[in-house]
Structure 1
Amino acid sequence: MDRRVLFASLILLAGGATGVGVALFAFVGIDDAAVESEVVWETEPVAGDDGSGAVVATMDGDSLVLQSTVEDGERAVRATAVGGDVEWRTPLSAVGPPGATGGDAADGGASDGDPPDVSDLASGTLDGDPVVAFTTESGSLVVLDAADGATRFTVDLGDPGGLRPAIGDLTGDGRAEVAAATADGRVVAVDGAGDTVFETTLDASVDRRPLIADFEAEDGGEAARGVAIATVGDEGATVRLLDANGDPRWTATPAVTPLTWTAADTPDGPVLALGGTNGNLQTIALADGSGRFEVGLQDLPIAVGDASPGRIHVGGAGSVWAVDLRDGDIAWKQQYGGDTRVNAPGVADVAGTGEPGPVAMNRGGEVLAMNANGEVIAQGNVGAAVVYAGPLFADVTGDGTDEVLVVTEDGRIVAFDD
């Protein structure tokens, strides 16, 4: 069957002073010739997380899926290798108190009552070593070596935690730092050894994960670096970009209350892309906090995902949107799975063509891999499962091309090959 591409005009209703405008987009149909992805391996269910907190860490070409789990009544982080074998498991009881360093991965016993909660995980590299970071509900930032689960360091945040930390080059010295925020508005950044870079307390609560923006300067301009923090107070939402000293580079009042957000580069400089609770997508310039554009996607809610060159990809109510990061024009819309909510899309070269494309996962367990034009190149299904997570990527077949990994609500890891 020939690929069906339907073109339509979408009238985006003005949102008062927000200036939501008019756009032309391509509605891209699903071709019957799209490849049906094959499940190459999957793990048994494991309790402790709904799947949205899992990440991938890669060491010397070998990938591990890192999850927060509850096993034998105890909270732990565990690493699953390609094929499904568990490489290591670090119970929270083995991490040690704030200030501890160099702890070894070990099995811990059951705890009394419900095991403590931890945040979603973040993966990155500190001083050349792959790491996984998270915060605890009691108020600690924990960083483990991804290779073996040993404790790299723990830091007392001073207030209850629970927000996913961020890893990136905050200072511009080529070495990454870790930033964490508490719900009460305390923000802490530390270096690769756990030493404090800055500490500051804001005058509002924080309920979104912090972002580290670490874009390089272009054409002699100033690098866009800092920790982006979204707070919500009595007068609405505020976005701040903190510098390496913890001082605000700028403070902005966005037109939307961010539900999800990410940092992305554009031809006109890097931006923060905010997915509003009202279904609108807004971008804010990282250079000065000025608003770039706001566009209504006619879906509610929306989940801001990964960017590819010049575009940001957004999950909606049964739809995936590609939005031009320069002017907010909608490049295309792909619809699948009825009105089932689509999680934040990822971007990877799963076809091995050298051209990354978006990959989406909806709550019903349906996977859709697309090219840059929104045309479907592969699709699959995890079966009877609920999925809250966006897709993860790793080379699970050894062919040099990324495959799609999905973590379901019950903790199963499912690996797809096109």
Structure 2
Amino acid sequence: HDNTIDPDRRLRIGYISPDFCGHSVSYFFEPILEAHDAEAVEVYGYGDVSCPDQVTEELKVKFGHYRNICGLRDQEVAKMIEQDKIDILVDLAGHTSGNRLGVMARKPAPVQVTYLGFPDTTGMGQIDYRLTDETADPPDAQRFHTEKLVFLPGGFLCYKPPGFAPPVNSLPAIEKGCFTFGSFNNNCKIQPDMMRLWAEILKRRESSRLLLKFGGGDDPAVRDHYLREFESFGISRERVDICGRKPTIEHFRMYGRVDMALDTYPYNGTTTTCEAMWMGVPTLSLAGKAHASRVGLSILSRMGLGDFATSTPAEYVEKAVAFSGELDNLAKIRASLRSMMFNSPLCDKKRFTKSLEAAYRAMWRQWCDGSQMEVGQTVSGTNPAESQDGERLCPATLTRRAADDREGQ
């Protein structure tokens, strides 16, 4: 590569993805795009979006430069990236559908990174780093990666809450006298072992119900399959409601029927966990040893909700039952969760992006020096206790901002 070797110059950062559209990746990428420091980095987007939508159009104008690479061969895209003199190329898809790992394999940029869209190693020697955090990937996870792990100090995710979300309602269980657990995760994550745990929770918590929502849930045959599974675990189908996809606003309103969300295992939810919290619904998560089963723990830790993370199936069941009996506590959490989330590192796009740019800068300096960052290195960032504007938050600020946020919905 003939990129100018200057460790302190403005960097050209390229992001390549098929998901610059109404996809979960965009919910976590858009705030980064909005918060990038234009004096420090020049941002390029390489979108292989098969079905562009309104989100695509909104993202396009937020890039410094956007290239539509749909239909182009890997070699053509790699040449384009080389001609753009990209310093750091960031893959946002990993091994998910529509990925352009064939482009990454040609090493068109001197530094290459994978991030966000795939919860594991790519297994590619051409990709130098993988961005994560110390909770989602414990230090011993490095031995399972071809990339060097780089830990972001405030968590590896930055979430942009939807401006159209309805207000948070009161705890349904208090009004209806019936406790409702819920999971809106993809049904590919709902395995028999998970259903067995949910059935045990329903048995232990009398008069409780379970609400599931996933694509295909409105198909009678699909619904019947899951209801029969629950019956085999001793739960009558009358206690389980299954819904299919809904329009986005209706999807968020459905959280108003849920008292507490139940995360999936061994593949945790990500977007669903954040959406639930924005609607005042805490998620109970079961953590494992791999990134895919530790995302819930990472999110909850950044929110100060570590009590909702569990480490064994037995603890998962016990805590679900225990929390479902603490209605006053859940009601208080529900009323304050949106403001807690807004003021947490999870939604602090300026602080997060500053730490991300610090990671990019460290990678670039290492390349200029002819070396790589140390394994498992944590980059510097701003204080997580500060707000987006760098000010420290007090209770009055929390209350005021929560009220302002509700008025803006």
The TM-score range, normalised by the shorter chain, is under 0.3
TM-score between both structures, scaled by the size of structure 1? 0.25
Higher helix share: 2
TM-score between both structures, scaled by the size of structure 2? 0.26
Higher strand share: 1
